[in-house]
Structure 1
Amino acid sequence: MELKWLEDFVTLADTSSFSRSAELRNVSQPAFSRRIKQLEVWLGAALIKRGAVPAELTPAGRSFLPVAQDTIRALYAARETLQPASDAGMVRFAALHTLTVTFIPNWLQALEKTAPDTRLCFIPDRGGIEANLAALVDGEADFFLTYTNPRVPLHLDREHFDFLSVGRDRLLPVAAPMLRLDRDRWTAGENILDKALAEHFTLPYLSYGYSSFFGVALGKLFSQHPSFRRRAVHENAISAGLKTMTCTGAGICWLPESLVEEELRTGKLVSATSSSDWTLDLEIVLYRHVGNQTRNVNAFWNNARQVSGTAVGQKLPVAETVMQMASGE
């Protein structure tokens, strides 16, 4: 038995739609249907009338619904009640790995000025957008901190999630001062992208893959620039790892400005283009599930709203508060 099966069932009972419920639970419809079936197998009873549109509960399903609702409430209440005294004030965070390095340390310092007892517990970065969002939906994390960009829509239902803009960054194409084009040929890295486009040659490219946030965003960017010829020579979903490879001259890479500020200042890395067309503007956004109304979560959220208008760094300013509630207020 898994708690998320109960939450899936309650959501389905509320919406009477498998597709709508899957969207709200941030999973594919086939995966959602499998989880409902797993719950039925565990219980030994059919809960949903198969083939009925809209979806209907069986008599067993109607009997089980209040049990599922009470169980969910009881388990979350028990978790909060049994929380050790040493964990008082602790909130659980899912965050993209890069943000734990570049943004969160300064941001947390700003938060602690108004709430000195603020403490965060980070769960491991799951490596993909949907996987990290699942931690929020499943209750493993109280908050999810991520980059956003219009090229990468996050399919979150506004009735179930609040979000707050807390910062900005940029994804920049950079290279080492000397870039290795192939085994025996090196060239200057500065504005190498402009040169490659003009002379129609292929660049070694350090890739994020296709499932990470940056991988998806860059895939959309590259689709608008078919003349960019690249050869992936290394793949890593973690920006810090790609930065290390970039500094060796292994290839061109798009990295967060906050992560490479020092390297650009000292000349260890250089801009790969003189055009802003290859830069992606990023917003840093904090998400929470509206169903999570514990004392610690609400206190942290309110503190984040107050602090979000205060700069925490020259190159990574916290943006003006943009609070978008489910009601659209």
Structure 2
Amino acid sequence: MEIKWLEDFVTLAETSSFSRAAEIRNVTQSAFSRRIKQLETWLGAPLISRATMPAELTSAGRNFLPMAQDAIRMFYSVRESLRPPAEQGLVRFAALHTLTITFFPVWLREVQRNTRTFGTSFMADRGGIEANLAALTDGETDFFLTYAHREVPFHLDRDKFSHLAIGSDRLIPVAAPELRFDKSTVPAAGILDSPETAKRALPYLGYGYSSFFGVALGKLFSKHSPFRRQTVHESTISAGLKELALTGAGICWLPESLVENEISNGALVICSNDSTWTLDLEIRLYRSSEKTRSTMVEALWQSSKALAQTLKPAAPAAGTATFSSS
């Protein structure tokens, strides 16, 4: 038996809808239904009447619901009490890898100017959107720090999860000055603006289709037809793609904050002067609105809110992730 089965069941009981509960739990409806069935098999009793719309609990389901709720609360309480002393009192973050390098250190310093100093810990970036969100929805972390874009929706219940817009960045197309192409090299600066671009498949360093940047870029590329590209490497980690881009392996869309120095010293060049090839990104901090929080977690949230409301975005230097007052 898995704790997520109990959380799935409680969510289903609250929504009376398999589709809505699956959306809140950030899984497909088929996967959600399968997990509910696994719980019923483990218990040896049907919990949901599937013959009714909306879904209703069976008598066994109604009896089991308060037990499931108590078990969830007890599980997280016990887990917190058993954490090693070195980890107790740390504010836990799930975060996209790039933000831990470019944004988080400066932002944390500013936040802690207005509250007492506290320790923090990061859970490794799991790559996919759903996997990273699951760390928050499953209670593994206190906060989720992420990029956001209007065309990449996060399927989170607004009544249960709230967010602050705390900064901004841009995703821009870059490459080494000389791009390896067809056993030769070509100048990469402005290459996306060349009429020849439509005639050949350009070497491309991509993120795949499950990561946040992969989904966002898929939306962008659909607006630029034709844009022919040949994927030579995929990774969900921007820092790794940057290192390959520096070798001339391909064009890559990278956060401007991550490549500031490389653009400044000429190690990377921008592949287009057309702003439609860039993606404006918001940096968001998410948290659960329902889970019991420590005083440090609440203090960080309130300090973050105050910082977002009082700091006006400075005119960003090239490549700098900035704070936001939105």
TM-score normalised per structure 1: 0.92
What is the distance in 1 between the residues matched to 2:77 and 2:153?
33
Q: Which residue of 1 aligns with 2:129?
A: 129
Q: Which residue of 1 aligns with 2:236?
A: 237
SS of residue matched to 1:231: strand
Quick one: which of 300, 307, 324 aligns to 1:319? 324
What is the distance in 1 between the residues matched to 2:155 and 2:284?
14
Contact 2:165 2:283 in 1 (8 A): yes
Superposition pairs of residues 22-33 of structure 1, within 5 angstroms: 22-33=22-33
What is the distance in 1 between the residues matched to 2:177 and 2:226?
23
Q: Which residue of 1 aligns with 2:209?
A: 210
Distance 1:149 1:64, change over 3 A: same
What is the distance in 2 between the residues matched to 1:199 and 1:137?
43
Distance 1:297 1:195, change over 3 A: same
Distance 1:37 1:273, change over 3 A: same
For residue 133 of structure 1, what is the amino acid of its counterpart? L
What is the distance in 2 between the residues matched to 1:136 and 1:293?
13
Q: Which residue of 2 aligns with 1:327?
A: none
Q: How big is the shift at 1:198?
A: 5.9
What is the distance in 2 between the residues matched to 1:199 and 1:42?
56
CA offsets per residue over residues 12-71 of structure 1, 9 Å max, x none? 112211111111212111111111111111112111123222212121111111111122
What is the distance in 1 between the residues matched to 2:188 and 2:23?
44
In the alignment, is residue 194 of structure 1 matched against residue 214 of structure 2?
no
Q: Which residue of 1 aligns with 2:3?
A: 3
SS of residue matched to 2:194: helix
Q: How big is the shift at 1:124?
A: 1.3
What is the distance in 1 between the residues matched to 2:188 and 2:248?
8
What is the distance in 2 between the residues matched to 1:107 and 1:197?
42
CA offsets per residue over residues 229-287 of structure 1, 9 Å max, x none? 21111111111111111111111111110000000001111111111110100000111
For residue 322 of structure 2, what is the amino acid of its counterpart? P
Percent identity, aligned pairs only, is: 59
What is the distance in 1 between the residues matched to 2:198 and 2:289?
53
Q: Which residue of 2 aligns with 1:257?
A: 256
- 114-123 or 134-143, which deviates more: 114-123
What is the distance in 2 between the residues matched to 1:213 and 1:143?
17
For residue 203 of structure 1, what is the amino acid of its counterpart? L
Q: Which residue of 2 aligns with 1:35?
A: 35
Q: How big is the shift at 1:84?
A: 5.1
Superposition pairs of residues 1-329 of structure 1, within 5 angstroms: 1-83=1-83, 85-183=85-183, 185-195=184-194, 197=196, 200-295=199-294, 296-308=296-308, 309-310=310-311, 314=317, 315-320=320-325, 322=326
Q: Which residue of 2 aligns with 1:326?
A: none
Q: How big is the shift at 1:118?
A: 2.1
What is the distance in 1 between the residues matched to 2:199 and 2:211?
28
- 44-53 or 92-101, which deviates more: 44-53
RMSD (Å) for aligned C-alpha atoms:
1.9
Q: Specify every segment of 5 or more residues in structure 2 that has no aligned partner in the other structure, as ranges.
A: none
What is the distance in 2 between the residues matched to 1:171 and 1:91?
28
SS of residue matched to 2:9: helix
What is the distance in 1 between the residues matched to 2:251 and 2:65?
55
For residue 72 of structure 1, what is the amino acid of its counterpart? I
Contact 2:177 2:269 in 1 (8 A): yes
For residue 54 of structure 1, what is the amino acid of its counterpart? P
Q: How big is the shift at 1:164?
A: 0.4
Q: Specify every segment of 5 or more residues in structure 1 that has no aligned partner in the other structure, as ranges.
A: 323-329
TM-score normalised per structure 2: 0.92
SS of residue matched to 2:94: strand
Contact 1:197 1:227 in 2 (8 A): no
What is the distance in 2 between the residues matched to 1:108 and 1:193?
37
Contact 1:142 1:292 in 2 (8 A): no
Q: How big is the shift at 1:196?
A: 5.0
For residue 143 of structure 2, what is the amino acid of its counterpart? F
